[in-house]
Amino acid sequence: MKWIITLLLAAAAHGALADSATDCKAAGGSYMSGVVSSAPVWVGGKEMRNVELSHTKLNFTSNADGKQYQAAIDNVFAQGYDIAGDAVPAPLNTLQVGDNIELCGVTYPGGIHYVHTNCGCKPQRGQADGWVHKINADGSVSANLEGSQEYCYLWPCRTGNH
């Protein structure tokens, strides 16, 4: 009986991931999923209109090919972002080694970035309407950890491109 329940949960998770990949493609992005293999680290960045464009970086092992990739995550799109802060903002600070994640964004050799909202604008080449989701044990996914639109005003093309 336990193996039937396990099989059903695995099938449900696979279905959810397949839907996420389709949703990501429709949002102009590339989909990746995997297991966090290094704790998130805060990395400073340049300033734009007195807002530091820092990043959170982490490594993950891809579910697709078993290789290591880096996720470069823009902190300004995290709900707990603090202009004066120099730490990984909430909710990104909840990600831990061993967590399953899925990302929608723009890939580059060895990683993925642009894994955040595009502020309600139409996806364009190189600007996906991306996300970072934690995949729960039951196969469900969290809300977008990169969905805050508080700083969308920094990129006017994002607020007027609907």
The pLDDT confidence band at residue 12, using thresholds 50, 70 and 90, is very low
| pLDDT at position 77 | 98
> What residue type is assigned to position 119 of the chain?
C
| Fold of the 2-160 domain | OB fold (Dihydrolipoamide Acetyltransferase, E2P) (2.40.50)
Q: Which has the closest alpha carbon to 23: 144, 145, 161?
A: 144
Inform me whether the pLDDT recorded for 159 exceeds 60: no
Buried-state track 111-137, b at ≥16 Cβ within 10 A, e below 16: bbbbbbbbbebebeeebbbbbbbbbee
The pLDDT confidence band at residue 18, using thresholds 50, 70 and 90, is low
